[in-house]
Structure 1
């Protein structure tokens, strides 16, 4: 054991700096690859990898710089080349363009990053100043200066991106900035661009109205003012896809360098840093190719080549990603459309560049389709958590029993019995039909989609007087009551019909999704919602009822509901536990849905779907903007798309379209 420790100590003394610098570079490569996936896929394993790499990347670079600045005086002459690595550590601290923050809270710590930036720049400058690289007249000196400048610029760019993501656009501005933002221009419509050229204009539309989700998630912003002709010319499908794309764009705003990259100075930084890195590499290669070149340890030379080659590759990727991004496509397209006919040469140049960018993006999309890779701007999935399945499976599961013995039953069951499924194909259609119902209704009305939570749907279907109690209770209890009742009704419906229609499948997915938010992501619900009712109902069903299967539990719930609907609630009902009350209310509702007799024309399925869509809209509208922004880093949520579309409607962007549908 002692011998092994001695070997490690010797290795650390001889190769510790080399190992740290190469580890720092490796972590940057990992972040570059995985960060591009995380806003399109909700995966716990992926989150763990990115979280570890994100924390280790900064820690490794900072520790390496500190270790080098303390021990530089002890280095042997043959290891003086290690001082040249200090600027590369600054470059690594600048991070990759597609990830500046792991969580939304990192943006608020931009002042801490600024302080770290100052300290690490001073440390890197000190290392270079104390090394023999700056005292000898060799090609390494200008190469080190170039890389130091690049490292400072890229690190500073990251701090600035964090600042941009954390601050409101109105912070500290003049009062006149609180006016109105004009979106659209009556001189231009999207019809002037061929649909087959700009892929139905989703990219241009999403960027052109990006101020709307910015106002929702990052406000306060100025009030929005839209042209009348901008709101009535596009299909619902186009607007829905634009909202999906804006999830990816908003991820870039909060978690990447996108707000900084796609500016004139951001573009200049990409070009200058690449040219400076290539120049530094040529100087170093020239230095070591000379017979009388700067002599140093051969392993250090190889490590330097790896860092230089890796830096060039990362800079090329950064430049290409910026050039062929949707931001560049939208910017070039808008600039081309607005270009004056007098400046014909500028218009032709911009048109040519937009063709190049579009062609490159088209080829990438086509290659992805051929490879069977989905073209997603977000995860495209909905979490699923079925209460009935949880109770029946965890009651007999050995792992759940072990978790109960360890006092972690709730956490374990929520994790194990939560899955995900693709968004139903008819979800967009259901949402459109539901939003139409609120056209012409005051935003303050209890029947508006922002406030109804199922109440308006019950009124439209003539069931309000009988079932209003199920939506007038607290939100979390209403969700549980309708979820259990929906499962009971769909189980009965499935037995009565040979196959379930798409609407029934969509209802089950919606019901499971809202309960998933309640159980696994309660921060995506309104602030006054609590998991307490969910926990109490789990305790009631798992620990105080006797059943052997899901069918047995559904039968028990239905019989209990029929008994309560026939004999009425017991006078002692109000003195029972909350779990008992919720269970009885769910049983009553399930029995009532079956007895209503609307199934002949699928009227009951329509009613249930409308109630769940209204609950979803209510939840999305009242979810905190910070929670929407937080979830963007984990693949996004469908309720965020719903919130964006509802914001379209609030600002008047969907007004004409929904009037036409109605």
Structure 2
């Protein structure tokens, strides 16, 4: 009775229409998702466009759903004896079981996915056991469909070929996820066990010779320096694109363990990297890091590590050959009893599989891994201008923006932008978020309730309040020089730890006139520092804009750098708290909200303020009494702590104009950025390479290369013991 009440009346003709087209629609939909993924997935390391990321995420999830559902429909139509015969005939027709059996392996190919994406996020790699189970189960289903079509199946040979191809593709995806899972990735990074000198044997020999009254001693013999010859050969001067790729690959092999919180076992690895980057320009150093992060992306999110080996090459050749053989056999097969539309679908599947395979091959060839393979196989020396070097360098230009296509004189600006977008290694922009702007432009109350109720606050705040700023060369140069200076000063482990743990104090301590500012970085938490210095930076910035004249010809590079880093760090704290050190994520949000509430109260929101006048209004409030004296622990607002800092900065500069406040502010922001990069979760930072990339991820890896992080806790012995008998 309950079943009759819940049954929805559906016209019979609609049911027949569904039964006639369900398999065909879902199998074409599955192919469409594969085409979309293979073409669009490479863009996600170059852009943060919300619509591209959202469409890619939907396609990634729906691709497996469509393939699994279509395979289930095929299995149901082939082997369910209780299904209505009219329904089965509508789905397959009297002579179409051969085609359905032929279609099933194509869905295995689709479940294997394209080479350009195996995981959407790092967490997907941990689900490799689920994909392994899916591989076994779906292969059994596809084989069951094939068995059901025998012995009358005229397409059994091409079906077996495609079944082999589907198994290879699905197995490659599962194995790629397995290799990129955190446990397997960490195991792969463990060095060969080193038990050290044979203590027992050496001790016995030493004791026996001492008993025999022979002059015996143990001498420490220094080990030979095993510094990387490739890095030594190119330690000075600017780098070519080929040299950048080669060095990036060398560092990738050493530093990729940082993704899973591995430490570098010896100091020699640090010294190689540190010496290399100390002799680089900021432009070359950032390019090497960007290439290295691209290699990390390939290992964690694509099939490239699996297919770019001997076994992978064999599987590529085998899958390509089986697809071509299936096309050839189907072309010459008698199709008299097949529906013309189903024949067309079969051709679409066959040539779609061929296009996917060829596209994957071309993307593989035009990748950094091809350059690395050619370099290793041809043994090209980077300091020799040989024909081999010229050929590889010319090929490499196709992958970068250094080739002739980027010439402004020969190509329009639009064309140049398109080429640069396709060749750039990351997004090359940073997101900025401003507290004063957020307070001056609140959401309407009705929208606020709706957004908060359905959990869309972060999404809509990103659209309304987040702006994007280009990471220009001036910003890169400034960050690089600050890290370079610190690396040159970090001569011992204690100094390195002190520099790495600094949150602005290191810079302030070096300047005698600015010591009074130490309380704003030493006596506050990390999230407090970000909010206090952000508001202080904004107040100083708008105060200067308000008072400067058109004839002012001062260099404002430091001011612009401080402003963009200030807004970027607040964006990370508020919009991306998972990329901040764990201890600050929650309390930082509370302090931000309380501070915003006080800003709105001071400005009496409802009055039409612009940014500059709002900052002037805040600066006009007297700050003779410390804020904590009045508010105590009741409020976490930091507005007037920031106001005090801004007035201190401007006051010190007024007393001595040689004390440029923007020099201190910009350097403090670099320290805050570096502290956040070195203390955030490594897997969270690494995950950003699949989302357009982040400046903080590049800084994190740059810190490690300069030897300023905490990845080198073990002091390495530089000598081994040797038993000497005789004088």
2:592 is matched with which residue: 534, 541, 544?
Answer: 534
CA RMSD, aligned part only? 3.3
Contact 1:287 1:294 in 2 (8 A): no
Give the greater-gyration-radius structure (CA).
2
1:638 is matched with which residue: 666, 690, 695?
Answer: 695
Q: TM-score, structure 1 length as denominator?
A: 0.87
User: Number of residue pairs matched?
Assistant: 628
1:211 is matched with which residue: 253, 276, 297?
Answer: 253
Measure how far apart 1:177 and its partner are.
4.3
Contact 2:546 2:612 in 1 (8 A): no
Measure how far apart 1:150 and its partner are.
0.7
1:152 aligns with 2:203: no
2:94 is matched with which residue: 55, 67, 77?
Answer: 77
1:522-561 equivalences under 5 Å are 522-530=577-585, 531-543=589-601, 545-546=603-604, 548=607, 549=609, 550-560=611-621
With over 3 angstroms needed to count, the CA separation of the structure-2 counterparts of 1:315 and 1:366, relative to structure 1, is farther
With over 3 angstroms needed to count, the CA separation of the structure-2 counterparts of 1:179 and 1:274, relative to structure 1, is farther
Partner of 1:469: 519
Alpha-carbon distance in structure 1 between the residues aligned to 2:263 and 2:110: 34
Contact 1:212 1:647 in 2 (8 A): no
Partner of 2:111: 93
Alpha-carbon distance in structure 2 between the residues aligned to 1:570 and 1:515: 23
1:92-491 equivalences under 5 Å are 92-132=110-150, 135-136=152-153, 138=154, 140-166=155-181, 167-171=183-187, 176-177=192-193, 185-186=228-229, 191=234, 199=241, 201-220=243-262, 223=265, 225-226=268-269, 231-232=275-276, 234-288=280-334, 293=335, 295-337=337-379, 354=392, 357-358=395-396, 361=399, 366-367=404-405, 370=411, 371-372=415-416, 373=418, 374=420, 375-394=423-442, 397-398=443-444, 402-404=447-449, 407=452, 411=458, 412-413=460-461, 415-438=463-486, 439-441=488-490, 442-445=492-495, 448-463=498-513, 465-472=515-522, 473-491=524-542
2:683 is matched with which residue: 626, 629, 632?
Answer: 626
Alpha-carbon distance in structure 2 between the residues aligned to 1:513 and 1:443: 30
CA shift digits 1:118-162 (9 cap, x unpaired): 100111111111114x644x4x22211111001001100000000
1:578 is matched with which residue: 618, 636, 640?
Answer: 636
Measure how far apart 1:39 and its partner are.
0.9
CA shift digits 1:376-433 (9 cap, x unpaired): 1111110110111111111xx53x6531476469544454211211113211211122
Gapped runs of 5+ residues in structure 1? 340-347, 656-662
Contact 1:87 1:144 in 2 (8 A): yes
Contact 1:110 1:162 in 2 (8 A): yes
With over 3 angstroms needed to count, the CA separation of the structure-2 counterparts of 1:195 and 1:538, relative to structure 1, is closer
Gapped runs of 5+ residues in structure 2? 1-7, 80-87, 197-224, 713-727
Alpha-carbon distance in structure 1 between the residues aligned to 2:329 and 2:297: 39
Alpha-carbon distance in structure 1 between the residues aligned to 2:189 and 2:390: 38
Alpha-carbon distance in structure 2 between the residues aligned to 1:363 and 1:648: 25
Measure how far apart 1:271 and its partner are.
2.0
SS class of match (2:632): helix
Alpha-carbon distance in structure 2 between the residues aligned to 1:431 and 1:351: 33
SS class of match (1:421): strand
1:595 aligns with 2:654: no
Measure how far apart 1:174 and its partner are.
8.2
With over 3 angstroms needed to count, the CA separation of the structure-2 counterparts of 1:478 and 1:360, relative to structure 1, is closer
Partner of 1:660: none
With over 3 angstroms needed to count, the CA separation of the structure-2 counterparts of 1:195 and 1:431, relative to structure 1, is closer
Measure how far apart 1:538 and its partner are.
1.9
Q: In terms of mean alpha carbon deviation, does 261-270 or 591-600 score higher?
A: 591-600
SS class of match (2:545): helix
Alpha-carbon distance in structure 2 between the residues aligned to 1:100 and 1:583: 46
Alpha-carbon distance in structure 1 between the residues aligned to 2:632 and 2:433: 29
Contact 1:414 1:519 in 2 (8 A): no
Alpha-carbon distance in structure 2 between the residues aligned to 1:192 and 1:251: 27
Contact 2:543 2:615 in 1 (8 A): no
SS class of match (2:583): coil
1:504 is matched with which residue: 559, 566, 578?
Answer: 559
Contact 1:28 1:95 in 2 (8 A): yes
Alpha-carbon distance in structure 1 between the residues aligned to 2:103 and 2:348: 11
Alpha-carbon distance in structure 2 between the residues aligned to 1:361 and 1:241: 13
With over 3 angstroms needed to count, the CA separation of the structure-2 counterparts of 1:543 and 1:192, relative to structure 1, is closer
Structure with larger RCO (C-alpha < 8 A, sep 6+): 2
Q: TM-score, structure 2 length as denominator?
A: 0.79
Q: In terms of mean alpha carbon deviation, does 67-76 or 147-156 score higher?
A: 67-76
CA shift digits 1:305-363 (9 cap, x unpaired): 00111111111111121122111101211332279xxxxxxxx9987984784465479
Alpha-carbon distance in structure 1 between the residues aligned to 2:452 and 2:271: 59
Alpha-carbon distance in structure 1 between the residues aligned to 2:24 and 2:180: 34
Partner of 2:222: none
Alpha-carbon distance in structure 1 between the residues aligned to 2:290 and 2:14: 51
Contact 1:206 1:246 in 2 (8 A): yes
1:515 aligns with 2:570: yes
Measure how far apart 1:223 and its partner are.
2.5
Contact 1:328 1:357 in 2 (8 A): no
